[in-house]
Homo-oligomer: A and B are copies of this chain.
Amino acid sequence: MERDQAEELRALQDTLYFIGGKWRVPVINSLCNGNRRFREIERSIPGITTRMLSKELKDMEMNKLVTRMVYNDTPVLVEYEPTPYCRTFGKIIQEMINWGRDHRKKVIQKK
């Protein structure tokens, strides 16, 4: 029981570390929604800057969450594809969306 709690906390903190900053989860979500091109992803997340998206995608590529594919059509075409592993995070995202929706309802009620 002591043991369990410590192990659960570690797992929890690993996930939180993975989530990291402000943009990782929205980016994963955008990819899972089928957005593939850089500007397309950028547009799907109002507020994100080019710089942050670029950083995020690079980092995710390094961590095998996304595959960057370059097609040498002219003009150059770049596509980002979420890996199957990336998609395993989808369940948590769905829970987050649901909770956020209920939360908003609750906050609006209060007013």
Does more than half of chain A's interface fall in helix, strand or loop, or is it mixed?
helix
Q: Copy number in this complex?
A: 2
The residue on B at minimum CB distance from A2 is B44
A15 and B99 contacting across the interface, CB-CB below 8 Å: yes
Partner of A12, one of B13, B91, B93, B106: B93
Count, chain A residues at interface, CB 8 A: 36
A5 and B44 contacting across the interface, CB-CB below 8 Å: yes
Apart from A13-B100, A16-B22, A95-B95: 19 A-B pairs, beta carbons within 8 A: A5-B33, A9-B26, A9-B44, A10-B100, A11-B103, A12-B25, A12-B26, A12-B29, A12-B97, A13-B26, A14-B104, A15-B100, A16-B19, A16-B26, A16-B96, A18-B100, A19-B19, A91-B99, A92-B99
